[in-house]
Amino acid sequence: MKCATCGSELTTADPPGSWQCFGCREAVRISAYSPHPCSPQPHRCPVCDGSGLVSRPPWVAGDQMTWTASGAGPYQCHACGGSGVLWK
């Protein structure tokens, strides 16, 4: 079995049912109903607040207050790719 985050091999450890991830250096306990603690978890995108859309065009810097654009927004969030979710 491999760690979902770092790809390292998991090896059995004591007590029975425990595993050791050498890449993450953590002892983990895996059950049939819980995800591996090293596996990525979904989080709401902090850039678009989960909507997947932003009002600022992608070519405009974050601290720039004015710009000229030929198209009207909203624009797809580049941090999450428009999904509104980041996996970390």
Q: Are residues 46 and 88 in the same domain?
A: yes
- Would the pLDDT of 4 be above 70? no
Do 6 and 29 belong together in one domain? yes
83 and 52 in one domain? yes
Contacts of residue 32, Cβ cutoff 8 Å, sequence gap at least 6? none
Range of the domain at 85: 40-60+71-88
- Indicate whether 85 and 48 sit together in one domain: yes
Query: Does residue 28 share a domain with residue 2?
Result: yes
Residue 66 forms part of a structural domain: no
Residue 83 lies in a domain: yes
Amino acid 59: pLDDT:
82
pLDDT per position as a tens digit, 19-76: 677 677 666 655 444 566 667 788 899 988 889 998 888 888 878 888 887 777 788 9
Please tell me the predicted confidence (pLDDT) of residue 46: 92
85/55 same-domain check: yes
Residues 6+ apart with CB under 8 A from 3: 9, 10, 21, 23, 24, 36, 38
